[in-house]
Amino acid sequence: MAKIVQKYGGSSVQDADSIKRVARRISRSRQAGNDVVVVISAMGDTTDELMDLALAVSPQPQPRELDMLLTTGERQSAALLAMALNDLGVKARSYTGSQAGVITTGRHGNARIIDITPGRIQASLELGNVTIVAGFQGVSQGTKDITTLGRGASDTTAVALAAALDAKYCEIFTDVDGVFTADPRIVPSARRIPEISYEEMMEMSACGSKVLHVRCVEYARRENIPVHVRSSFSDNPGTWVRSQEDVVKRKQMEQALITGVASDRSEAKLTVSGVPDTVGKAARIFDVVAEADINIDMIVQNISAVTTGRTDISFTLPMNDGKKAVDALNAAKDEIGFQGLLYDDQIGKVSVVGVGMRTHPGVTAKFFDALAADGVNLDMISTSEIRISVVVEVTMVDRAVAAAHTAFGLDTEGEATVYAGTGR
Amino acid sequence: MAKIVQKYGGSSVQDADSIKRVARRISRSRQAGNDVVVVISAMGDTTDELMDLALAVSPQPQPRELDMLLTTGERQSAALLAMALNDLGVKARSYTGSQAGVITTGRHGNARIIDITPGRIQASLELGNVTIVAGFQGVSQGTKDITTLGRGASDTTAVALAAALDAKYCEIFTDVDGVFTADPRIVPSARRIPEISYEEMMEMSACGSKVLHVRCVEYARRENIPVHVRSSFSDNPGTWVRSQEDVVKRKQMEQALITGVASDRSEAKLTVSGVPDTVGKAARIFDVVAEADINIDMIVQNISAVTTGRTDISFTLPMNDGKKAVDALNAAKDEIGFQGLLYDDQIGKVSVVGVGMRTHPGVTAKFFDALAADGVNLDMISTSEIRISVVVEVTMVDRAVAAAHTAFGLDTEGEATVYAGTGR
């Protein structure tokens, strides 16, 4: 009898009928002899509706109270799912994040899991219950206030519970069939990736793949929990995310250089021009941006022109933080002594990811050749051991993704894989 | 600086605007120098909507899970109210029933408060916060599951918190101006009762007045907490419910025999005919009904006809329990040996209530004379020390209420009192 954790997202529990459908699926897992813990998101648009209500009452809702409000959505779906299961003759109980022992930091709206004390969950499993936990939430250490965990949080809750309960694996049910070699809306011939390593998945998530949040994959890697990402609308196998040792053998057999191509249109580029080329000026720019709580992704510094003693520094950052960064830098303009700011949100990032590239030095050349052959100009470049990312004009993103996908032999031969949805 | 507890019902927090209005009222109480604890109901129809959702998922929702679901309504309004207060510059924090230390029995859907451990509430007050508690809910002793408290529960929570916190008084804000001498929809000349004793209010509530639930008044009486029932839509004084000693002096001065007239259309009458007039048969009837968990109100037994050795027994019970009672008695028909059952839900109960009648023996005669003069036939009669109730045909209820109201001199002289709504 295996202990497993399943997570269902909001699109899987949109209404009463879909809750009953999820209950039938869980019932099958239970009949197969598994001990099942379920982490559940709020129904469909519930969280957005609650947010609208909060904004109707207060232009800037207090974070503590917003967490109290928003967490009710998952509690509702958890209770409804338990009712539906009990109706099928499957014993079930729902628990809030707090009751389930999800202990977090006190940062409302973006708390992190510190610990899981799963005493009540274990007791409920021992009574033979399918045990349902409201996702996205916990309780702060010390102050015991209700917290929410920020983006991708229900997935992370599921993986953290799997680790705390020593579960065999964690299944993440979503509205797509798994992780694909590229976004099938861009590349219709994209294939489902049957297996991917934690490291590759982290790079994919960080570079725009929306199927799993990078924080969730990080957690799974640290705790070595296999994660199966699959569709809640079919019984097809999805994508297994697991340790490199378990995956790499198959990779080597296939001789695949690249596991997938990811793209991201959510970043913008900010160029600080005419920066005095003296010690500490560049560092001061990034201090100012960091103090504004903005994460920078890629950085390029031009070679200083000898005649002027000045240089240009460009970096990418989340588009949503664009105004904040411009304001912060302008406030420090005199101190740093730069000459101008150029903001460009008409960019996109395209990344190729794969452990195969470690042992194949020609990957960068192959990637750039493919882009050049298709007329795509590169604006910025960054690499890791298993990833190459480039920034291109936003209108060129689709073309670049397709070119890379073809160049690295990822296009499907024969029938296209079924692709059920549009990501989360 | 007085510590007070305020309770706002669902009709006072129907939408974002009414939540902001309630926040402004609380802010005024705070500015007047009070320490304020607020107990809040769910917004408008939220509870009904959640119930519909539960029934869409399961025809008979599990009580434990239903409590988990329904309690989210009050948590939402509590959080929203805290946001609105913080926006007004009034520090505020919301707490679930569980966080507020409302410890209950484990009977889901109809739990009772066992104890209140208000440590967190007190700590929050000491920090200068308006402290908001989600009404209608608690946490079960031992199992620590989320419970709901049954009807009238948010009022009871407010009174129980007032007792636990040693508050000066408890204000119940509702959509009517207080307790009236009769339902103003029936008697337009009905007057607001400025003061009423716990005992009278309990009789009024038990006899159909819907402004306060009898359980709440019982609790207030036991703990001797003055309760001020008033409108959330105006600043008018409402009705003070307090101990008899504090009220009776004014009553004596006014020489009022009767404080108010209550009416109730929610009961039905069941007549068991041809019951063998032998020891224990009547008792057996009430055993059977009690085993079906049905509360009986009034009982009448006819004098046994000597020739037949049989008698008829009639009693009133909640209309909703009619079918259950008929089924239970029919199942025991042979054992008890009665001849027939007659069910009648076309009845109503009219009651006059007042501590004044203790010392005035003519009240019953005056009441019955007034009814007779208006052509109202009496079907059943029951009395307590401070109440007389009669059962009449349902079509005669309004006439009987008006006749009693006039006979006991309760009609307004001059302008009618403002009446803001239609009860809860």
H or E segment at B287?
Answer: helix B281-291
Min Cα–Cα distance to chain B from A100, Å: 12
CB contact under 8 A, A86 and B58: yes
Which chain B residues are within 8 Å of A66, Cβ to Cβ? 79, 83
Judge whether B1 and B35 are in contact, CB under 8 Å. yes
Q: Which residue of A has its CA nearest to B132?
A: A65
Judge whether A132 and A126 are in contact, CB under 8 Å. no
Cα(A300)–Cα(A383) distance, integer angstroms? 12
Interface of B with A (CB under 8 A): 15-16, 19-20, 50, 53-54, 56-62, 64-66, 68-69, 72, 75-76, 78-80, 82-84, 86-87, 93-94, 96, 99, 120, 144, 146
User: What residue spans define the domains of chain A?
Assistant: 3-251
**First CA to last CA distance, chain B:** 32
CB contact under 8 A, A86 and B19: no
Cα–Cα separations (whole angstroms), residue B273 to B99, B314, B333, B348, B418: 53, 8, 11, 21, 48
CB contact under 8 A, B79 and A68: yes
pLDDT of residue A249: 60
Which token pair is A376?
Answer: 């795509």
- By percentage, how much of chain A surpasses pLDDT 90? 72
pLDDT of residue B282: 80
The string of pLDDT tens digits covering residues A193-232 is 999 999 999 999 989 888 998 889 999 999 999 999 999 9
A–B CB contacts, 8 A cutoff, strictly below: 108
Which chain A residues are within 8 Å of B79, Cβ to Cβ? 54, 65-66, 68-69
CB contact under 8 A, A20 and B50: no
Min Cα–Cα distance to chain B from A68, Å: 6
Confidence of residue A413 (pLDDT cuts 50, 70, 90): low
CB contact under 8 A, B76 and A65: no
pLDDT of residue B358: 78
With a cut of 90, say whether residue B75 has pLDDT above it: yes
* The length of chain A, given as a count of residues: 424
CB contact under 8 A, B87 and A59: yes
Min Cα–Cα distance to chain A from B372, Å: 54
Min Cα–Cα distance to chain A from B7, Å: 19
Confidence of residue B411 (pLDDT cuts 50, 70, 90): confident
pLDDT of residue A362: 83
The string of pLDDT tens digits covering residues A302-325 is 766 667 788 888 999 999 999 999
pLDDT of residue A252: 53
Which token pair is B334?
Answer: 């042979």
Cα–Cα separations (whole angstroms), residue A201 to A30, A59, A187, A207: 29, 38, 19, 10
The string of pLDDT tens digits covering residues B97-112 is 999 999 999 999 989 9
A104 in a known ligand binding site: no
Query: Phi/psi class of residue B86: alpha, beta or left (left: φ > 0; alpha: ψ in -120 to 50)?
Result: alpha
Which chain B residues are within 8 Å of A75, Cβ to Cβ? 68-69, 72
CB contact under 8 A, A64 and B93: yes
Count CB-CB contacts under 10 A for residue B292: 15
Q: Answer with the residue of higher pLDDT: B150 or B163.
A: B163
Phi, psi of B70 (to 5 degrees): -65, -35
Substitution target from B14, B24, B43, B68 for chain A, most A beta carbons within 10 A: B68
Note the ipTM here: 0.80
Query: Phi/psi class of residue A179: alpha, beta or left (left: φ > 0; alpha: ψ in -120 to 50)?
Result: beta
Which of B16, B59, B120 comes nearest A56 by C-beta? B16
The string of pLDDT tens digits covering residues A241-273 is 999 887 766 655 556 678 999 999 999 999 999
Sheet containing B3-8: give its strands across: B92-95, B130-134, B35-40, B3-8, B169-174, B227-231, B239-242, B195-197
Judge whether A40 and A132 are in contact, CB under 8 Å. yes
With a cut of 50, say whether residue A115 has pLDDT above it: yes
Cα(B285)–Cα(B33) distance, integer angstroms? 58
B3 in a known ligand binding site: no
Which residues, 6 or more positions from B64, have their beta carbon under 8 angstroms from its beta carbon?
A82, A93, B108, B145
Which chain B residues are within 8 Å of A16, Cβ to Cβ? 53, 56-57
With a cut of 50, say whether residue B261 has pLDDT above it: yes
| Mean pLDDT for the stretch of residues A69-98 | 97
Judge whether B115 and B79 are in contact, CB under 8 Å. no
Task: Tell me which fold the domain B3-252 belongs to.
Answer: Carbamate kinase (3.40.1160)
Which of A54, A72, A120 comes nearest B75 by C-beta? A72
The string of pLDDT tens digits covering residues B167-224 is 999 999 998 999 999 999 999 999 999 999 999 999 999 898 889 988 899 999 999 9
Q: Which residue of B has its CA nearest to A92?
A: B65
Min Cα–Cα distance to chain B from A347, Å: 38
Substitution target from A38, A53, A145 for chain B, most B beta carbons within 10 A: A53
Q: Is A161 helix (H, G, I), strand (E, B) or coil?
A: helix
With a cut of 80, say whether residue B285 has pLDDT above it: yes
CB contact under 8 A, B57 and A144: no
CB contact under 8 A, A69 and B75: yes
Q: Which residue of A has its CA nearest to B66?
A: A79
Phi, psi of B402 (to 5 degrees): -65, -40
Pick the CATH number of A3-251 from 3.40.50.720, 3.40.1160.10, 3.30.360.10, 3.30.413.10: 3.40.1160.10
CB contact under 8 A, A65 and B83: yes
Min Cα–Cα distance to chain A from B101, Å: 13
Which token pair is B177?
Answer: 């101006």
Min Cα–Cα distance to chain B from A16, Å: 5
Which token pair is A214?
Answer: 């990078």
- Lowest pLDDT segment from A90-104, B250-264, B384-398: B250-264
